Chains A and B, each alone.
Chain A
Amino acid sequence: QKEVEQDPGPLSVPEGAIVSLNCTYSNSAFQYFMWYRQYSRKGPELLMYTYSSGNKEDGRFTAQVDKSSKYISLFIRDSQPSDSATYLCAMRGPPLQGAQKLVFGQGTRLTINP
């Protein structure tokens, strides 16, 4: 079983829709949760960074963490064609041997149709 599970999609929605992207994880030691966005043929870029449970909002994006269920979500409101990308969740536990070692989900490929 993978430590982090993410539905690879692909997911296709119309412009303006609310998008929900999700990841589940098995390691209860994970404390820090991130979402990265990766455009085609580019490197991932950090989108959201949260610690512990709860919600964090940044513009049209909301990251949600439910540690009791080992479940994290990213919501995109008023989705735009420019949001079309692959979204990767990532998480880590306490520093190990001095380095933060992120564990990534497979990534969900999202397309927003005009």
Chain B
Amino acid sequence: NAGVTQTPKFRVLKTGQSMTLLCAQDMNHEYMYWYRQDPGMGLRLIHYSVGEGTTAKGEVPDGYNVSRLKKQNFLLGLESAAPSQTSVYFCASSRTVNYGYTFGSGTRLTVV
């Protein structure tokens, strides 16, 4: 049972490049989330999904897009990367609203 798997684990982008971060969970969870973690800022919610085909904005959605075409996958896209998007990105999932989150191991992204 892999839990929540994030790919890639590390990436360096040039300003203006685009990329997609992939999150996959094998626990049949309905809810999925993308967070970014920055020093002194804690975890901030970017986008989330309450089920297949749904997405919603979180606290810091600007510059990011998401898609949840399949229940097990939640994709985070950066269309035109900026240095301010240098961060560690975590995906999480939960079974229902009454459960805690299961997190992936993170993607370390540097935008130069």
Chain A residues within CB distance 8 Å of chain B: 6, 8, 32, 34, 36, 41-46, 49, 88, 95, 97-102, 104-107
- Contact flag A41-B106 (CB < 8 Å), given A98-B97, A99-B31, A100-B31: yes
* The residue from A43, A46, A102 contacting B106, defined by CB atoms under 8 A apart: A43
Q: Which of A42, A45, A106 contacts B40 (CB 8 A)?
A: A106
Cβ of B34 within 8 Å of any chain A Cβ, yes or no, is no
Which residues of chain B are within 8 angstroms of A101 by Cβ–Cβ distance? 45, 48, 58
Q: What is the size, in residues, of chain B's interface with A at 8 Å between Cβ atoms? A: 23
Question: Bound state CA distance, A36 and B48, in angstroms?
Answer: 19
Can you give 12 contacting A-B residue pairs, CB < 8 Å?
A6-B42, A42-B105, A43-B92, A43-B103, A44-B101, A49-B100, A88-B43, A99-B97, A101-B45, A101-B48, A101-B58, A107-B42
Q: A49-B100, A100-B31 are in contact. List 15 more A-B contacts (CB 8 A).
A: A36-B100, A42-B106, A43-B92, A43-B105, A44-B43, A44-B90, A44-B101, A46-B100, A97-B50, A97-B56, A98-B97, A99-B97, A100-B94, A100-B98, A106-B42
Q: Please name the residue on chain A nearest to B40 by beta carbon.
A: A106
Of chain A, the residue at the smallest CB distance from B48 is A99
Give B89 Cβ to nearest chain A Cβ, in Å: 10
Cβ of B94 and Cβ of A106 under 8 Å apart?
A: no
* Interfacial chain A residues near B106, Cβ < 8 Å: 41-43
Give the docked Cα–Cα distance between A34 and B90 (Å). Answer: 18
Whether B41 is near chain A, meaning CB under 8 Å from some CB there, is yes
Output the residue of B4, B92, B97, B98 with the most chain A CB within 10 A.
Answer: B97
Residue of chain A at shortest CB distance from B49: A99
